[in-house]
Amino acid sequence: MPQLSTGLVIGGAYANKLRRVLFAQLRGELKEGKIDSKQIAFRAGELNRILFEILVNKLKIDKGDAVRIRIEYDVEDRDIKWKYDTFSIEVFRRVPDEEIEPIIKDTVEQIETILARPVTEEERVWTEREEAEVERELARERLLPPPIEADTAVVHGRTKTGELLAILKSRDKGNIGLFSAEEHEKGSKVTVILVPTEQEAYIGEKIVEEPLDQLESSEELILKQVNSRIYKKIDKDEAEKIIRSKLEALF
């Protein structure tokens, strides 16, 4: 199932970015006549009006705040069907200068007291680590939308321990990663490895309510888990090691 993701964009430009991303994603459907440009523009405008209500009227964001919007959709009967149950909005608010200036002034007046305090562990973490160390930590923790969309999931079998494996393929039928799921008390523990390019790799993990048998019998459910998941970047070598170890466990 396709997902529209704006990436990080300033609040004042979200509508234009959303419209451009949607047209870019559906250029293939446009060429094939599965939908026309007027309907894409209409549905983009419809979603942008809903976002205006959320972002501006209710969250009161400023044009300079950053937002990231994600939502899944289907193209059916020459129309776009938004999957509102997958709606996700992140807001990164800009702190106005008028709020910052009095804080600076108040802090400067307390400099001697602040410097006389013992250094806490939290302060040490923020102030004493090298930039490269912080960047590595952020890279590990940074969550991202799917870097590539899986179009096909081919169930490959079960490992010796009962773990379900499925090979993931893109629209052009190239292999892009591996879906795996194992039994969990709340349903299934799903792990997805995506390798969209020769240089990049991503991992997404989550506990889902669907049992293994249900996932195994439904390609649609597997693709939903793959294309709606949040990922973090990992080393390509680590991704290949995980995939290799899981596939070897089949034999």
Q: In Å, how far are 7, 46, 55, 160, 237 from 12, measured between CA atoms?
A: 14, 17, 10, 53, 40
Select 3-92's CATH number: 3.40.50.2000, 3.30.470.50, 3.40.605.10, 2.60.40.60.
3.30.470.50
Q: In this prediction, what percent of the chain has a pLDDT beyond 90?
A: 55
pLDDT band of 119, cuts 50, 70, 90: confident
pLDDT confidence of residue 139: 64
- State the pTM of this model: 0.49
Residue 225 has pLDDT above 80, yes or no: yes
Average pLDDT (98-120) is 88
pLDDT in tens, 53-64: 999 999 888 888
pLDDT confidence of residue 99: 84
Three-state secondary structure of 156-201? EEECCCCCEEEEEECCCCCEEEEEEEEEECCEEEEEEEECCCCCCC
Provide φ and ψ at 193, rounded to 5°: -110, 125
pLDDT confidence of residue 69: 93
pLDDT in tens, 135-166: 666 666 666 778 888 999 999 999 988 999 99
- Domain boundary assignment for the chain: 3-92, 97-141, 152-248
Six token digits for residue 100: 């910052």
Helix (H) or strand (E) run with residue 86 in it: strand 79-92
**Residue 150, helix vs strand vs coil:** coil
Q: In Å, how far are 32, 76, 144, 240, 243 from 26, measured between CA atoms?
A: 10, 12, 21, 31, 31
Residue 43 C-beta-side C-alpha neighbours within 13 Å? 23
Question: Which is higher by pLDDT, 133 or 231?
Answer: 231
Is residue 3 within 8 Å of 29, Cβ to Cβ?
Answer: no
**Residue 225, helix vs strand vs coil:** helix
**Residue 148, helix vs strand vs coil:** coil
Q: CB within 8 A of 137, min separation 6: which ones?
A: none
The radius of gyration computed from the CA coordinates of the chain, to the nearest angstrom, equals 23
The pLDDT mean for the chain works out to: 88
pLDDT confidence of residue 239: 93
Q: Where does residue 138 rank: exposed (0-12), middle (13-18), buried (19+ CB within 10 A)?
A: exposed
